[in-house]
């Protein structure tokens, strides 16, 4: 019985092959994440925004985009008046037929005179076509969000659908 003590041969090739497979898996993971990011960004379509600016407050919308199920609105706000201790940007979201789907709020505190701040808020409402932005002093206790399924419920429904298709499909 011979024992190979040099370490050449079969085990060296196996480690090299494993390394190549690991490198391929890592490269595929990076490539797929880049492609997913590109695909998500190209699926967003611009939405119209309408704003009501109180005297001395400038709201500039840089981005307002949505897919069928979610979206975001972002921009800057500039205070040309005296200091504002606390206020909110209210974003009302509507469909093409002007059906109100819900509101989102951004809190602004200690906004000094001539100060500019960036804002961005995401939403998960279906089929949003346009948004209306206003400044309000307070937020209602309950913001109506009954028109969409929460992420927790969406995950449960997705799991049930996959299981149903695996069993009966």
Q: Is residue 156 scored above 80 in pLDDT?
A: no
Among 8-22, 38-52, 125-139, 145-159, name the most confident range: 125-139
Write the pLDDT tens digit of every residue in 75-108: 998 988 888 888 888 899 999 999 999 888 888 8
Write the pLDDT tens digit of every residue in 30-83: 999 888 877 766 678 888 888 887 778 888 889 898 888 888 899 998 988 888
What is the share, in percent, of the chain residues with pLDDT greater than 90? 16
Mean pLDDT along residues 136-159: 59
CA–CA distance, 75 with 72 (Å, rounded to integer): 10
Looking at residue 146, its pLDDT comes to 42
Are 86 and 108 in contact, with CB atoms under 8 Å apart? yes
Please report which residue ranges of the chain form alpha helices under DSSP H. 10-43, 151-168
Task: Characterize the bridge pairing of strands 116-123 and 48-51.
Answer: unpaired
Helix (H) or strand (E) holding 134: strand 130-136
- The owner of tokens 């809190």 is 107
Q: Which residue has the higher pLDDT, 119 or 5?
A: 119
Helix (H, G, I), strand (E, B), or coil: what is residue 152? helix
Report the DSSP beta bridge partners of residue 3. none
Give, in order, the Cα–Cα distances in Å from 66 to each of 23, 26, 76, 168: 36, 31, 19, 34
Looking at residue 154, its pLDDT comes to 55
Looking at residue 8, its pLDDT comes to 53
Give me the chain's average pLDDT, please.
80
Looking at residue 150, its pLDDT comes to 43
Q: Is residue 109 scored above 80 in pLDDT?
A: yes
pTM greater than 0.75: no
Which of 90, 98, 88 has the alpha carbon at shortest distance from 130?
Answer: 98
Looking at residue 45, its pLDDT comes to 83
């Amino acid at each position: 019985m011979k024992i190979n003590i040099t370490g050449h041969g079969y085990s060296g090739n196996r480690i090299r092959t494993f390394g190549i497979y690991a490198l391929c898996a890592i490269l595929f993971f990076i490539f797929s994440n880049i492609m997913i990011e590109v695909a998500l960004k190209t699926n967003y379509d611009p939405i119209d925004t309408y704003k009501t600016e109180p005297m001395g407050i400038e709201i500039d919308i840089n981005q307002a985009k949505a897919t069928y199920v979610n979206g975001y609105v972002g921009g800057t706000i500039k205070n040309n008046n005296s200091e504002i201790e606390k206020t909110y940007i209210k974003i009302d979201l509507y469909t093409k037929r002007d059906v109100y789907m819900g509101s989102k709020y951004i809190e602004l505190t200690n906004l000094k005179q001539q100060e500019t701040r960036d804002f961005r808020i995401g939403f998960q409402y279906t089929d949003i076509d346009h948004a209306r932005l206003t400044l309000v002093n307070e937020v209602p206790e309950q913001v109506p969000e009954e028109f969409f399924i929460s992420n927790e419920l969406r995950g449960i429904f997705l799991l049930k659908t996959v299981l149903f298709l695996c069993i009966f499909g």
